[in-house]
Structure 1
Amino acid sequence: MCGAVMAALVATGAQAQQLSYGTNLRGTPGLIDMPSAHSPADAEIGLSYTRFTNTTRSALTFQLTPRLSTSFRYNQLYDIRPGGSGSNRAVFDFVFDRSFSLHYRIMDEGRYRPAVAVGLNDFLGTGFFESEYIVASKTLTPSLRATLGLGWGRFGTQGGFENPLGALSGSFDARGARTVSNTGGEVDSIEWFRGDAALFGGLQYQINDRTLATVEYSSDAYPFEDGTAFDVKSPVNVAVSYDLYPGLRLTGAYLYGSEAAINLSYNINPKVRRDGNINNTAPLPVRPQGTGVAASWDAATDPQARGPQTATATALSEQDIALYGLTLSGDLARVAIVNDTYRTDSQAIGRTARTLTYTLPDSIARYEIVVMRRNLPVVSATLRRSDLTDLEFDADAAFASYARAGIDTSPAAVPPTADPFPRLDFGVAPFISTSLFDPDSPVRLAGGLSLTGDLDLAPGLRLSGDVRSKLLGNLDDATRRSNSVLPRVRSEKNIYDREQTTLNRLTASYLFRPGTDLYGRATAGYLEYGFAGVSTELLWAPAGRRYALGADLNRVRQRDFDQRLGLRDYTVTTGHLSAYYDFDDGYFTQLDLGRYLAGDDGGTLTVGRRFDNGWNVEAYATLTDVSFDDFGEGSFDKGIRVTIPFDFLTGQDMRRSRPVLIQPILRDGGARLSVQDRLYPLIEDSRTDDLQRTWGQFWR
């Protein structure tokens, strides 16, 4: 049957095109419902939505490395009947199911050999879709690809046979019955690749540059759904996919001889898409010495260099950079800037250096450009003016200019050009709050207006506030009551969400540099929606090193549900020791060990990848001394955070971004205090290795 279907498709494709890749109805690399051995491009992010009878699937997939795909899937399932028999058979009329998948390509396709991949499904979920596989895919012609695989677990339920791995060990012969539940969260690794196995496979044909046809033989008999959620009449599935727009694909499928399905997927890649700088002012060229007109300056009549300061401030503002301070001494200019526009400090430093060639006299031969964060100097680059002229059109200008620059992550402070304190910044902006995966309502959100204000009283000293007024949404519709046996530090957030106008934050904070490579922070007040108190932090981030160490200590008290000035009785001391490490190509990891808001002790491991254009994708997992049973649904805290830079959407350079947290379940175990201006995120893109990696934008 498969051959006949594909023969008909080939006959219709007179102008077949190069094969495309995509995700299957589960949101992972694959055919229709089965996996394949291909992988998306490195760093690709995919969103997928699938609907067919009694089943809705939403998936987020991230190509963490060129070979490893990671997926989080959220399913809405009706009429599920897993496990047991007769009166002992579990019955779930409706389930919100969360699961994780891994797909690793262990071998690339060659002239004669296929690509080969291995994968795990639902290894950290409820167990409804628990399965493992090994699969091979081979391109037969430029427009035809074949896939053949071997599956276990659910992928071994259609046409299953004795496990061939039993030849290696008898332990592979039988698969123990996993207790399928609607809570999940526990790893069941002892059963991987055990029990009956089954073959699956399929063919894909590229009809034209937008249309892909697929036929497959599925090894998933849908044992929990067949006869209840829907009927499985045939293991053969067929589908046609059409690319509506680059990255946006619509798929229609006919499944298991009985069900019509529709899938919409969208893929983006932060490595190859634009990173802002589309609508910004063009950078200035370097003014050669002895040409044009630079700002005149006479040290005898203008010892404070007011003339150059005024000219530089005006010129930098046209480049969307703020001048904080400028001093002239001999042939050296020390210039402090505030970069609230450009994604990388390298680009801001480069634009500042070229601007100085116009606003300072030729007698100034060296520029030390200091980048400020919260009125504190965090990094500086010292450049020779002659190097700017010599290297502007050099074929290797980026590398050569960095090699000649002097980078210092502990620069001395530059006095402000004028007394900038007190300085008040305030504004009104829209906000969106979300609540995901509530079992009673999986997606809830609210929108409104946020009035924010920052009053800088001295370098590093700031009063800050955020008042929010909710105008629309359904966050206040949640009625589920917490059943937590732990102090309810997060599980009653739905009660906080009912308020219309709230004081989200009101703090006094002080940031300082206590020593070389050291950063400090002290914050007091209403720190977040749920807690008020005092938070302190110290960070050691040595220059030129990939690692950093930090510690925070907090004494906080729970806030009233109305989020005004009142406090509740619960008080806790919480804090962590933190270790940070940056790998090559943007990969990073963070380990936090300490005490959490519910008084539980443990650790959080975060692994992720950040990109020079502001994208950031990370996953975290927290394990504490709270048992899985006491934690409740989900068993332990875990989640995925995707940070989307605004300039990626607007084409206008800006440093602002929006983090989106995908947290499978919000419980009390492993809950950590949320405090503004955490030190490592504040300074991470100003460290020596980050400047070196992004220095190619110096000349933009």
Structure 2
Amino acid sequence: MNRLATTIAFALLTAPLHAEGLAPSLSDWGGAGLMLNPTARMMPEGTATGGVTLVGSLHRHLFAGAQLLPWLEVTARDTMYPNWWGLSDPGLDVKVRLLREGPWWPAVAVGGRDVTGSGYDLPGKGRFAGEYVVLSRRFWNLDASLGLGWGRFAGGGGVVNPLGGRFAHDRDPNDPRSRGPRAWFTGREIAPFGGVEWHTPLRGLSLKLEYSGDGMRAERQDDPTFVRGLPVNVGLAYRPWPWLDIGAGVEQGKRAVLRLAVALALKDVPAARPLPPPGVGPRPEGRPATSEEVLGDARAAGLPARGAVVTRERAVLWLDTDDEDTGDFVPARILGRAARVLADGAPAEIEALTVVTGAQGLDGIAVTLQRRELERALRRRGSAEEILRTARVEPASAEGPPPPGRAVWRFTLRPTLEQSLFEQGVPYASRTYTDAALSVAPWRGLVIGGGVRINLASSVALLDTQALPAEQPVRSDLALYTARVAGIEHLHASWLASPAPGLHTRLSVGHFEEMFGGFGAEALYQPPTARWAAGLDLNRVWKRPAWDAWRVDGLDGHTTGHLSLYWESDGAARTAVLRLGRYLGGDWGGTAELAHRFDNGVRLSAQMTWTEGPDGGQSRIGGRLDQGIALVVPIGERPWLPDGGALEVATRTLGRDAGQRLRTPLPLYETLVPAGYGRLAGTWSRLLD
């Protein structure tokens, strides 16, 4: 076996690349891989996965995953298995690609299963925890992988742990120290694993053969009569359609495996079709259009126009950008169409066309385009890149406030499915509801909003939180709120302003969310063209009783607030957020978030929170971690639904008391992103669409 592994490793490291573009398939555990074994492969960026795997009478894996970045895979998983306590084993699985495959080297990835190790300290918890390093390389239609595993991946043993020292202690599945960050890459022994996936000539069908180092030590401890079987697994994967992944096979020569999963490429989700672009005629020789006429033309073209000023000296159009309201998620296209409206109506002598962005009364940026460059591009004698060379970007305050306009009304629907795969006592729990929200901005800066939540179905009463009720619950009494058919989800008044370039503020009062109401303030600083931002929010809120949607419990007050740091990728398609502060339970800690938004408006995000737990110690329910993956898809234009709104499917912890953030109305960063420079710059190539 060692000679075979050495031969495979030499081939992986030295043979040239012969095949590209073969789509990876899912493993039985939900991430890209073979069967039991992971590989260094990644799904296409922006892929959301979910499914179930049945492994004989032994295991049932429920999973939901996200390929948030080209090199980062995150999978939420809950595994059910026969045990004395009737509990499942939830875990968060993560894989990071360290090196992309090249002409003369393999892809390299490192990862782990159940990397957080959160949950009850019971025997067997963390039995699936393990870490690995794996190499993958393609040879024509054959994809080979070879790796070294720790923990669960090394149950078969075979090689002394080369890390030594504190890493070399025994990793007993019945010991709580065998899971979580303190157990990473520990164990007396490690084990090799590997295999191949052959992509057959039949489109979408591949065959898998692997050697596994999993010795199933935990199962043998539970049942002395348990027999592991052969360390070899064989199976197939079939994709009849790009979004459906079916797997079948035999593990260890004795257990049949069946996997059914979906893998959605979110960037390919159809977006709502925008209206045809407005036409641009010859420069007017007689009476040019008035400001009111230009404003009317902009609204007729589907633009979120707030005001216009067209004179012999200037041509300016103000937009109140809101993605879900307009249904257009390409800021450059909105900008280009606004410039077309100005070019069609402005006096002939005007050369500078200025479009000012904003959101809910906050200042965005002012972009000035040269009319001549726009006209050349529309006659196919120029391009968006040439327009950019002569464009000028300034803070929106450079053009002053827009002229007084009419009140802005918005109505949105948000059907939502929240599901949990993170409880040991309940493998799967969920709630389904729809939020119907109405807001009005009677004048610039003031927003009054309210929403009704209609609960459709819920099984959260089965959660572990009901077994050990907390004396002062934060969200562990969630079942009381899902039991009512409908209630006031939020009702607030907010004042938003931009007192200085790059500085934005919000003051809010009212019922902020389903469980809490009070008052709060937020400030955000982001220079107009910067890729970073810093914010601070402070709130004093009280619990809203489940049986009375209007009042708050004056004896159950909470002070919460966070310092938030934001970092955008080029084009603001991806955003990373780090928050540090005090949570609703009085616990202190931090939250890391990562979000990816596509041009069709689909948003994929993940977050993880670690705190000290309420009362300064381990949380009574679920541990100190709060985590989740969320997928938001715009509703778009439907004949039976309003234009605004979105559909959300989220896999997250439900009913926890630790690490709970307040869901504030109109968070500044999220409100401003559609009006900011980052996303505009990232979509500039579509200026002329």
Which residue among 504, 520, 535 is the counterpart of 1:535? 520
TM-score norm. by structure 2 comes to: 0.85
Q: CA deviation at 1:239?
A: 0.9
Change in CA separation of 1:179 and 1:393 when aligned onto 2, cut-off 3 Å: farther
Q: Does the 8 A contact of 2:91 with 2:113 survive in 1? A: no
- The change in CA–CA distance for 1:517 and 1:485 in structure 2 (over 3 A counts) is same
Q: Quote the Cα distance in structure 1 between the aligned partners of 2:191 and 2:464.
A: 45
2:116 corresponds to which of 101, 121, 124:
124
* Cα contact 1:144–1:203 (8 A) shared by 2: yes
Alignment of 1:385-424 (within 5 A): 385-392=371-378, 397-411=383-397, 412-416=399-403, 419-421=405-407, 424=409
Name the counterpart of 1:560: 545
Q: Which moved more, 1:676-685 or 1:200-209?
A: 200-209
Q: For residue 520 of structure 2, what is the amino acid of its counterpart?
A: S
Identify if the C-alpha distance between structure 1 residues 448 and 658 changes in structure 2 by more than 3 Å, giving closer, same or farther.
Answer: closer
Shift of 1:570: 0.4
2:416 equivalent to 1:432:
yes
Decide whether the 8 Å contact of 2:426 with 2:464 is kept in 1: no
Q: CA deviation at 1:628?
A: 8.3
* Mapped contact 1:470–1:501 kept (Cα < 8 A): yes
Does the 8 A contact of 1:503 with 1:563 survive in 2? no
Q: 1:217 aligns with which of 211, 217, 220?
A: 211
In the alignment, structure 1 residue 316 sits paired with structure 2 residue 314? no
TM superposition score normalised by structure 1: 0.84
Q: Give yes or no for contact 2:540–2:560 (8 Å, CA) kept in 1.
A: yes
Larger Rg: 1
Inter-CA distance 618–30: structure 2 relative to 1 (3 Å threshold): same
Match of 1:374 among 353, 357, 360: 360
Q: Is the 8 A contact 1:72 1:100 kept in 2?
A: yes
Cα 1:653–1:404 shift into 2, 3 Å: farther
Quote the offset at 1:309 in angstroms: 4.0
Residues of 2 paired with 1:660 and 1:295: CA distance?
Answer: 55
Instruction: Decide whether the 8 Å contact of 1:410 with 1:517 is kept in 2.
Output: no
Distance 1:537 1:134 in 2: 43
Structure 2 residue corresponding to 1:669, chosen from 651, 658, 667: 658
State the match for 1:101 in structure 2.
94
Change (3 A) 1:383 1:104: closer
- Aligned equivalents of 1:363, 1:17: Cα separation in 2: 55
Q: Please, which moves more after superposition, 241-250 or 261-270?
A: 261-270
Deviations 1:133-152 (A, max 9, x none): 23333333x22233333322
Are the aligned partners of 2:418 and 2:649 in contact in 1 as well (CA < 8 Å)?
no
Give the residue type in structure 2 aligned to 1:688.
Y
Deviation (angstroms), 1:533: 0.8
Equivalent position to 2:620, from 632, 640, 645: 632
Distance 2:465 2:219 in 1: 28
Q: Deviations over 1:14-48 (max 9, x none)?
A: xx998442121111222111122333334443334
| 1:396 Cα deviation after fit | 6.7
Give the superposition deviation at 1:343. 0.7
Of 669, 678, 683, the match for 1:689: 678
The Cα of 1:699 is off from its aligned counterpart by 1.2
1:349-399 residue CA offsets vs partner (Å, 9 max, x unmatched): 111111233333424332221223124442221222212112335687222
**Corresponding residue of 1:240:** 236
The letter of the residue matching 1:557 is W
Cα distance, 1:170 vs structure 2: 5.6
Corresponding residue of 1:617: 605
CA drift of 1:197 comes to 2.4
Q: Which moved more, 1:115-124 or 1:440-449?
A: 440-449
* Count of aligned pairs: 652
Q: CA deviation at 1:692?
A: 1.6
Tell me what 2:583 maps to: 596
Corresponding residue number in structure 1 for 2:312: 330
The answer to whether the aligner puts 1:28 opposite 2:22 as a matched pair is no
Contact kept? 1:367, 1:383, Cα under 8 Å? yes
Given that 2:168 and 2:186 are in contact with CA atoms closer than 8 Å, whether structure 1 keeps it comes out as no
The 1:514/1:101 distance shift into structure 2, 3 A limit, reads same
- Residues 530 and 563, structure 1, Cα contact 8 Å, conserved in 2: no
* Residues 109 and 548 of structure 1, relative CA distance in 2, 3 Å threshold: closer
Pairing 1:679–2:668 present = yes
RMSD: 3.5
Match runs of 1:67-216 below 5 Å: 68-80=71-83, 91-106=84-99, 108-111=101-104, 113-125=105-117, 126-140=125-139, 142-158=140-156, 160-163=157-160, 165=162, 169=164, 173-177=168-172, 179-180=174-175, 187-207=180-200, 208-216=202-210
Distance verdict in 2 for CA 1:313–1:686, change over 3 Å: closer
CA separation of 1:602 and 1:264: change in aligned 2, threshold 3 A: same
Q: CA deviation at 1:658?
A: 4.3
Q: Distance in 2 between matches of 1:311 and 1:42?
A: 44
* Residue 250 of structure 1 pairs with residue 254 of structure 2: no
SS of the counterpart of 1:667?
coil
Identify the range of structure 1 (509-518 vs 603-612) with the bigger mean alpha-carbon deviation: 603-612
Equivalent residues in 2 for 1:29-48 (5 A)?
A: 29-48=32-51
Assess if the C-alpha contact under 8 Å between 2:536 and 2:564 holds in 1: yes
2:10 paired residue number: none
**Contact kept in structure 2, 1:250 and 1:264, CA below 8 Å:** yes
Q: 1:381 to 1:643 in 2, by over 3 A?
A: farther
Cα separation, partners in 2 of 1:403 and 1:17, compared to 1, 3 Å: closer
Residue type of the partner of 1:521? R
Q: Percent identity?
A: 24
Q: Report the Cα distance in structure 2 between the residues aligned to 1:537 and 1:520, rounded to whole angstroms.
A: 6
Cα distance in 2 between the residues matched to 1:661 and 1:28: 18
Q: Deviations over 1:569-595 (max 9, x none)?
A: 201222222222224474433232322
Is the 2:109–2:135 contact (alpha carbons within 8 Å) kept by the matching residues of 1?
Answer: yes
SS in 2 for 1:128: coil
Q: Is the 8 A contact 1:475 1:498 kept in 2?
A: no
Q: 1:517 to 1:275 in 2, by over 3 A?
A: farther
Q: CA deviation at 1:57?
A: 1.4
- Aligned partner (choices 43, 59, 62) of residue 63 of structure 2: 59
- Quick check: 2:171–2:186 contact (8 Å CA) kept in 1? no
**Aligned counterparts of 2:435 and 2:647: Cα–Cα separation in 1:** 15
| Larger relative contact order, structure 1 or 2 (CA cutoff 8 Å, min sep 6) | 2
Between 18-27 and 579-588, report the one with greater CA deviation.
579-588
Deviations 1:436-459 (A, max 9, x none): 245554444455554432233321
In the alignment, residue 280 of structure 1 is paired with which amino acid? P
Deviations 1:75-123 (A, max 9, x none): 231323xxxxxxxxxx433324223232434362535x54443332222
Q: Contact 1:34–1:201 at 8 Å: present in 2 too? A: yes
Q: Displacement, 1:549?
A: 1.9
Once the two structures are overlaid, the 10-residue window that deviates more, 606-615 or 540-549, is 606-615
Paired AA for residue 119 in structure 1: G
Give, in whole Å, the separation in 1 of the partners of 2:567 and 2:557: 33
After TM superposition, list the pairs within 5 Å mapping 1:248-327 onto structure 2.
248-270=244-266, 273=268, 276=271, 279-289=273-283, 296-297=287-288, 308-327=290-309
